[in-house]
């Protein structure tokens, strides 16, 4: 910025000096000095425009660098989260394996319990049949015994 001001001051001083050296009647005709001053002005304008463009580019680069830093920070956060998640999964996998084994054991135990219940029902039904047969045999025996006693007293 100070370089621009110095350049501007130098241009103004050169212009004023050129006006002092040139007589009034020569001012209407372009001289080499005036063309130099005009050229300096054009050069200064081009340089100012270039400087403005460079400043804008620097601002854009600074903004992009800030965005890259934020992105880098976000990526580091995601990496940290994924590492933590992997560790949690690793730590809890043994617990999940234990739960899975327990579920499998429970399923096999339920299957065995169903088999035992089916067998118990068969035994119960067989015992009921045996009891019914025993009751029928006992009743027949009692009927035959009563009949024999009645016949014995009738014919005696």
Q: How far is CA 87 from the centre of its chain?
A: 15
SS3 28: coil
Angle between helices 2-21 and 32-155 (to 10 degrees): 160
pLDDT band at residue 29 under the 50/70/90 scheme: very low
Q: Which of 37, 50, 35, 39 is nearest to 11 (CA)?
A: 37
So what's the pLDDT on residue 52? 87
Residue position matching structure tokens 């400043």: 55
pLDDT tens digits along 67-107: 999 999 999 999 999 999 988 888 888 888 899 999 999 99
Residue 50: band (very low, low, confident or very high) from pLDDT cuts 50, 70, 90: confident
Tokens of residue 78, six digits: 């995601």
At 120 the pLDDT is 95
Please list, residue by residue across 115-154, b when 16 or more beta carbons sit within 10 angstroms of its beta carbon and e when fewer do: eeeeeeeeeeeeeeeeeeeeeeeeeeeeeeeeeeeeeeee
What pLDDT shows up at residue 112? 94
- Contact, 42 vs 11, CB < 8 A? no
Q: Rounded to whole angstroms, how far apart are CA atoms 21 and 37? A: 14
Q: What is the pLDDT of residues 102-135, one digit of tens each?
A: 999 999 999 999 999 999 999 999 999 999 999 9
């Amino acid at each position: 910025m100070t370089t621009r001001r110095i350049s501007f001051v130098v241009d103004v001083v050169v212009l004023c000096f050129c006006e002092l050296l040139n007589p009034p009647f020569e001012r209407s005709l372009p001289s080499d000095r005036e063309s130099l001053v005009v050229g300096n002005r054009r050069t200064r304008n081009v340089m100012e425009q270039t400087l403005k463009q460079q400043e804008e580019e620097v601002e854009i680069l600074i903004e992009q660098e800030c965005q890259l830093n934020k992105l880098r920070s976000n990526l580091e956060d995601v990496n940290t989260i994924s590492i933590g998640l992997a560790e949690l999964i690793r730590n809890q996998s043994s617990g999940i394996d234990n739960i899975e084994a327990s579920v499998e054991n429970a399923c096999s135990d339920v299957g065995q319990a169903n088999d035992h219940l089916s067998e118990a029902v068969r035994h119960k039904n067989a015992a009921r049949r045996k009891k019914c047969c025993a009751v029928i045999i006992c009743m027949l025996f009692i009927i035959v015994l009563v009949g024999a006693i009645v016949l014995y007293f009738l014919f005696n």
